[in-house]
Amino acid sequence: MPDTIRTRVAIIGAGPAGLLLSHLLAASGIESVVIDARTRESIESTIRAGILEQGTVELLESSGASSRVRIDGNRHEGIELRFAGEGHRIDFAAQIGRAVWLYPQHEVLKDLIAARLAEGQDLRFGARAERIEDADTDRPRVVCVDADGAPFEIEADFVVGADGSRGVARAAVTGSRAGGYSREYPFAWFGILCEAPPSSQELIYSNSPDGFALISQRSDIVQRMYFQCDREDDTAAYTEEQLWEELQRRVPGTTLKEGPIFQRDILRFRSFVAHRLLDNRVALIGDAAHTVPPTGAKGMNLAVADVVILERALRALLQENDSRLIEAFPDAALKRIWKAQHFSWWMTNMLHLTPETSEFDRMRQLGELRTVVESDAGRTYLAEAYTGWPLAGL
């Protein structure tokens, strides 16, 4: 017989969603076990996007999950949209009095892991969930294999799938891995990290005749930049010189500060929302429930918004035996999920060229960008969406 661990909430996945959920549950006195197939080292070093909405920052701070964001992160009060050879600033502070923080996801993960371990959280790395059983009962189980290959099971009152787009939970809840609404994009992002000072004070999202580029940052000495590439491109196919040429061509008007490129990656992305987010006592959150293209910087923030709604529903269910909020969880979460899907899709389509983009499409795109930047309502919409809509109940 495999070892069986009993807990109240079994959380599959130690990403932002799973870790934050365990943190908030613990603060409410609800015990959980978190497992992740990856090592701690791999989780803490995998490079992801870096924009935190204001609400995300406030929640990380108020819950004691991370106190470093305001110290080590960088507050950004706007972004620049660049098109037709001109830059247009979207001033978040002036439009709506809010901001975002540039603080990379792996830093959030380091903070969360440290905070959980300091509180004695049962958090198991290298432990893989193989399947979820008895999901239709009040005693769902996660069947797992630990880092040494030994089988074990977690028996819980509730199972949360926070195991990303390739995890086992999505299929368990929706009936199939592809069980959702989805959209593919005929391009990808080529990302680089380089040792150089910032080329611009704020992030530049550029629509250029050669395709999209994003000039982002990491610190005073490390920068993150992306340009639109082919889905089948290979990171080794470019020399360093060619990479700078590609990037530079797409941000006319700015001279990029170059430096040694020490990391390259290709991001293929899609829009996806699972057909179901709840199956009796199993719920999906974060990338297991939905994925967005990175253009809107919504990925981690959307995971945090799911957690806020689910945590409250779990408290009602597990502490008051009240199932109304958990039954309402999918509809409550989906409202924001689809707003973020729209925003991410809209930013992506407005800024990228596709192989099918006609001359008409290209001119229309510039008209769309002008509609946004020359309208107070347009700028306000972008500022609201980018800095994040209010989190439920906060």
Name the phi and psi angles at 263, rounded to 5. -155, 140
Residue 104 falls in the annotated catalytic set: no
Residue 256: what residue type? L
Catalytic residue among 76, 103, 140, 352: 76
Residue 246 C-beta: closest distance to ligand PHB, Å? 17
Catalytic residue among 198, 293, 294, 352: 294
Give the pair of three-digit tokens for residue 297: 């910087």
Minimum CB distance to ligand PHB smaller for 24 or for 99: 99
Whole-number Å distance between alpha carbons of 30 and 21:
10
Q: How far is CA 251 from CA 71, 166, 212, 333, in A?
A: 30, 34, 9, 37
* CA–centroid distance for 327 within its chain: 25
Residue 294 falls in the annotated catalytic set: yes
Whole-number Å distance between alpha carbons of 295 and 306:
20
> Cβ-closest residue to ligand PHB?
216
Residue with tokens 């090592």: 39
Residue 90 C-beta: closest distance to ligand PHB, Å? 13
Whole-number Å distance between alpha carbons of 288 and 170:
6
| Positions in the binding site for ligand PHB (CB under 6 A) | 49-51, 203, 214, 216, 224, 294-295, 297
Whole-number Å distance between alpha carbons of 169 and 153:
15
β-pair type (211-217, 222-229): antiparallel
How many residues can be counted in the chain? Answer: 394
Minimum CB distance to ligand PHB smaller for 200 or for 216: 216
Residue 267 C-beta: closest distance to ligand PHB, Å? 9
DSSP for 33-84? EEEESS-HHHHHH-----EEEHHHHHHHHHTTS-S-HHHHSEEE-EEEEEET
Residue 260 falls in the annotated catalytic set: no
Minimum CB distance to ligand PHB smaller for 203 or for 307: 203
Residue 51 C-beta: closest distance to ligand PHB, Å? 5
Evaluate whether 160 touches 19 at the Cβ level (below 8 Å): no
Whole-number Å distance between alpha carbons of 138 and 178:
26
Whole-number Å distance between alpha carbons of 215 and 213:
7
Residue 145 C-beta: closest distance to ligand PHB, Å? 33
Residue 214 C-beta: closest distance to ligand PHB, Å? 6
Residue with tokens 């491109």: 233
State the CB neighbour count (10 A cutoff) for residue 356: 7
Minimum CB distance to ligand PHB smaller for 225 or for 326: 225
Residue 274 C-beta: closest distance to ligand PHB, Å? 23
Minimum CB distance to ligand PHB smaller for 49 or for 168: 49
Minimum CB distance to ligand PHB smaller for 224 or for 290: 224
Residue 168: what residue type? V
Catalytic residue among 205, 238, 290, 352: 205
Residue 23 falls in the annotated catalytic set: no
Minimum CB distance to ligand PHB smaller for 32 or for 344: 344
Residue 257 falls in the annotated catalytic set: no
Is the backbone of residue 21 left (phi > 0), alpha (psi -120 to 50) or beta?
A: alpha
Residues carrying an active site annotation: 76, 205, 294, 298, 386
